[in-house]
């Protein structure tokens, strides 16, 4: 820390300081997933039909042993018909990012470094072409992502649950999002305060709720 004289007729001196801080960086991690399709589900169904369940489960002494044996056999058949594979989860990725766009961006960055080192016009042209291709692919990926997001929100089967899943997916890992962003209701009114946001969300989701609140209140009173 250092204190220096003021300038421009300030009524106080200036303090220069260097602040040291650190933050936790969200690292990439691996996760095992399964890709379910109608084909492998039918294969799993046929495989389960061939298992002699009565003979295998009938030899167990207790119900707990039967449940354990059942899940061992079920998981074994699932691993055969629908084997898991490993994917890399990148929490810092923006919505819509995929392997194709990531590869094009890396190629553009690599060509940029080559062009800076060589200084050749041809290398600069290669970098410009790669950058344009990466931007075009990134724009298309984002557009496809939000189009799919919009189409999924219009499904008739339990749209409220799906909408909350999409909201959680887009804001869960965003550390900069400390609160709900500004909302616009169906009347076009902008909701800025927390109270207005809550009322806007309640107004949107309440009509889709099928809960009989009078029955719920009656049950609580009876208890």
| pLDDT (tens digit per residue) in 103-146 | 999 999 999 999 999 989 999 999 999 999 999 999 999 888 87
Can you read off the two tokens belonging to residue 199?
């009322």
* Residue 223 resides in a domain: no
Domains contained in the chain, number = 3
Q: What is the pTM of this model?
A: 0.48
Residue with tokens 């049950």: 219
Residue range(s) defining the domain that contains residue 69: 25-92
> Are 36 and 65 contained in the same domain?
yes
* Residue 109 resides in a domain: yes
pLDDT of residue 211: 56
Using 70 as the pLDDT threshold, list the residues of the chain that sit under it.
8, 23, 152-179, 207-223
Burial pattern 185-218, b for ≥16 Cβ within 10 A else e, equals eeeeeebeeeeebeebbeeeeeeeeeeeeeeeee
* Residue 63 resides in a domain: yes
* Residue 151 resides in a domain: yes
> Are 103 and 154 contained in the same domain?
yes
């Amino acid at each position: 820390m250092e204190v220096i004289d003021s300038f421009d007729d300030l009524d106080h001196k200036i303090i220069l300081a260097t602040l040291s801080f650190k933050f936790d960086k969200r690292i990439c991690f691996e996760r095992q997933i399964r890709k379910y399709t109608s084909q492998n589900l039918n294969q799993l169904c046929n495989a389960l039909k061939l298992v002699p369940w009565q003979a295998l489960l009938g030899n167990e002494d207790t119900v707990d042993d039967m449940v354990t044996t059942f899940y061992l056999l079920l998981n074994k058949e699932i691993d055969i018909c629908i084997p898991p594979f490993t994917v890399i989860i990148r929490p810092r990725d923006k919505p819509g990012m995929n392997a194709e766009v990531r590869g094009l961006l890396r190629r553009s960055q690599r060509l940029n470094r080559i062009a800076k080192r060589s200084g050749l016009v041809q290398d600069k042209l290669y970098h410009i072409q790669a950058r344009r291709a990466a931007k075009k692919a990134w724009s298309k990926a984002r557009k496809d992502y939000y189009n799919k997001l919009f189409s999924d929100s219009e499904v008739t089967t339990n749209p409220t649950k799906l909408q909350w899943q999409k909201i959680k997916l887009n804001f869960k890992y965003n550390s900069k999002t400390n609160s709900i962003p500004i909302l616009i209701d169906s009347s076009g009114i902008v909701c800025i305060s927390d109270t207005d946001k809550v009322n806007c969300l309640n107004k949107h989701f309440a009509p889709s709720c099928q809960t009989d609140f009078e029955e719920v209140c009656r049950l609580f009173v009876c208890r």
